[in-house]
A and B are shown apart, each in its own frame.
Chain A
Amino acid sequence: MLNLRGRHLVSPSDLTLAEIDSIIALAQDMQRQRGNYSELCRGKILATLFYEPSTRTKLSFESAMLRMGGSILGFSDANASAVAKGESLADTIRVMDAYADIIVLRHPKEGAPKLASAYSRVPIVNGGDGGHQHPTQTLTDLLTIQAYKGRCSDLSVAFCGDLRYGRTVHSLIETLVRYPGGKFYLISPEELVLPLRLREYLQRTSSCQIIECRSMEDVLPHIDILYMTRIQKERFFNEADYLRLKNSYILDAAKLSLAKQDLVVMHPLPRVNEIAYEVDADPRAAYFAQAEYGVYVRMSLMAHLLGVTS
């Protein structure tokens, strides 16, 4: 286990591949032998500061801390906290770091966790900032890929849906291109393509193949992993645009029949209608297992950042 004590996690690029491997390895052991870790964080407190709604990220962090014997506090509605009285993020963080040993922050403003990390004496973990980054979802996704494929390199991966505002996609693709041999298909409507800056970054920093396309059916026979995303209503300034694009890509049994038998279908959840319920029974559907992996990877991450060992 590598020593990450006191570090912040704002972006996946804050971690080296060796550090990611260390987090994944411990998460796998935590899944196998959960009982061995039930007292690991006794006496530690996690603060969950959620300025916008979340179910699984918040609860999976809380579950992770509780499963390691620690305690939790925090808020999930900024309107019911001091924020409603006009307190700045910087002041909230300066107060909270006296109340907790580690802080998870979700915020609608992009860059808020980076700002928070400048004011905090305890580790800040980005729990999602606007359409920017979601590094713990990335760790969850990497653990899922490792569990199903036994590797994160030499894979053909398709990302489908909202690639413009989908922060889980941004974080995951930026990390996967650091592994060798990847081939990436970007399937989205014209209006929701990957941000220009990110596309340029990927092309400049990696030798991976990146292919943009509009048709899911054309790509399905060629890929090892299909990463579906929701078209996020809350990211649109204009409801008419959302209504026009929300049904762009729907995975159903007929489309899945075009894919390899060992395809892995992933989704950060929650889904709306982009994966038909009939797909859930297919052994290639990995998204509920993925949600479970999220608890183990967050247990491992917090153990690393707190510097606690069994």
Chain B
Amino acid sequence: MIKVAGIKRGTVIDHVTAGKGLWIFNKLNLASLGHPVVLLMNVQSSRLGRKDIIKIEDYTAVDTAMLGLIDAGITVNIIENEQVVNKTQVSLPQVVSGLFACGNPRCVSNSDHYVTPIFALYEAHSRAYLCEYCEEVTKVAWK
């Protein structure tokens, strides 16, 4: 089994559904972050069977809203002095700003490039969000 050392300070994104790690790596743009990053894929997990893990050294500002949209099973651990100082179970965010486009082609947020689309969670089980501008519902396809 591959052994990867722990990190002294940073973030461990754990319990990622196997196969989504690379997608999250790209969505969070970790390649250009400038910090050491490890992506582990298909690691054995008692909870999931198999899982992916991402470790980022010296960086703690990960976008938990985006992680919640991608995989609500993810745990984010913040590490200081090799200890977990904060553990967060991500969930679908109540408010989302700028992470996806409004599904309504007539919405002003799709035509005026300087507008940041803003959504409020409308219905969790269908992953539906209500656009602050046009009040139409967009269902987030990420999963």
Taking Cβ atoms with an 8 Å cutoff, the residues of A that contact B are 11, 88-90, 107-112, 114-115, 129-132, 195-197
The reply to whether A111 and B108 contact each other, CB–CB distance below 8 Å, is: yes
The reply to whether A115 and B115 contact each other, CB–CB distance below 8 Å, is: yes
Interface flag for B16 (CB, 8 Å): no
- Residues of the A chain whose Cβ atoms lie less than 8 Å from the Cβ of B74: none
The reply to whether B137 and A109 contact each other, CB–CB distance below 8 Å, is: no
Choose among B106, B115, B136, B137 the residue that contacts A108 (Cβ–Cβ < 8 A).
B106
Residue of A nearest to B130 (CB): A197
Instruction: Pick 14 A–B contacts, CB within 8 A, sort by A.
Output: A11-B135, A109-B111, A110-B104, A110-B135, A111-B109, A111-B131, A111-B134, A111-B135, A112-B108, A114-B132, A114-B133, A115-B109, A197-B122, A197-B135
A240 to B127, CA, bound (A): 34
- Residues of the B chain whose Cβ atoms lie less than 8 Å from the Cβ of A111: 107-109, 131-135
Interface size on B, residues (CB 8 A): 18
Shortest CB-to-CB span from A216 to chain B, Å, is: 28
The reply to whether A115 and B136 contact each other, CB–CB distance below 8 Å, is: no
Choose among A88, A90, A110, A196 the residue that contacts B134 (Cβ–Cβ < 8 A).
A110
The reply to whether B104 and A115 contact each other, CB–CB distance below 8 Å, is: no
Residue of A nearest to B104 (CB): A110
Provide the B59-89 mask, 1 if CB < 8 A to any CB of A, else 0. 0000000000000000000000000000000
Residue of B nearest to A107 (CB): B108
Choose among A88, A110, A195, A197 the residue that contacts B133 (Cβ–Cβ < 8 A).
A110
Shortest CB-to-CB span from B84 to chain A, Å, is: 40
Interface flag for B23 (CB, 8 Å): no
Closest 8 CB pairs of A and B: A111-B133, A110-B134, A109-B108, A111-B134, A111-B108, A112-B108, A197-B137, A130-B106
Known: A132-B135, A195-B136. A115 touches B106 (CB 8 A): no
The reply to whether A89 and B108 contact each other, CB–CB distance below 8 Å, is: yes
Shortest CB-to-CB span from A235 to chain B, Å, is: 9
Residue of B nearest to A114 (CB): B133
- Residues of the A chain whose Cβ atoms lie less than 8 Å from the Cβ of B134: 110-111, 129-130, 132
- Residues of the A chain whose Cβ atoms lie less than 8 Å from the Cβ of B136: 110, 195, 197
A111-B132, A195-B136 known; 20 other A-B pairs, CB under 8 Å? A11-B135, A89-B108, A109-B107, A109-B112, A110-B107, A110-B133, A110-B135, A110-B136, A111-B135, A112-B133, A114-B132, A115-B109, A115-B112, A115-B115, A115-B133, A129-B108, A129-B134, A130-B106, A197-B135, A197-B136
Provide the B104-128 mask, 1 if CB < 8 A to any CB of A, else 0. 1011110110110000001000000
The reply to whether A88 and B114 contact each other, CB–CB distance below 8 Å, is: yes
- Residues of the A chain whose Cβ atoms lie less than 8 Å from the Cβ of B111: 109
- Residues of the B chain whose Cβ atoms lie less than 8 Å from the Cβ of A115: 108-109, 112, 115, 133
A196 to B128, CA, bound (A): 12
The reply to whether B106 and A131 contact each other, CB–CB distance below 8 Å, is: yes
The reply to whether B104 and A90 contact each other, CB–CB distance below 8 Å, is: no
Residue of B nearest to A196 (CB): B137
- Residues of the B chain whose Cβ atoms lie less than 8 Å from the Cβ of A110: 104, 106-108, 133-136
Shortest CB-to-CB span from B131 to chain A, Å, is: 7
A89 to B133, CA, bound (A): 14
Choose among A88, A108, A132, A197 the residue that contacts B112 (Cβ–Cβ < 8 A).
A88
- Residues of the A chain whose Cβ atoms lie less than 8 Å from the Cβ of B104: 110
Residue of B nearest to A201 (CB): B135
- Residues of the B chain whose Cβ atoms lie less than 8 Å from the Cβ of A89: 108, 112
Residue of A nearest to B109 (CB): A111
- Residues of the B chain whose Cβ atoms lie less than 8 Å from the Cβ of A132: 134-135
A111 to B104, CA, bound (A): 11
Shortest CB-to-CB span from B137 to chain A, Å, is: 5
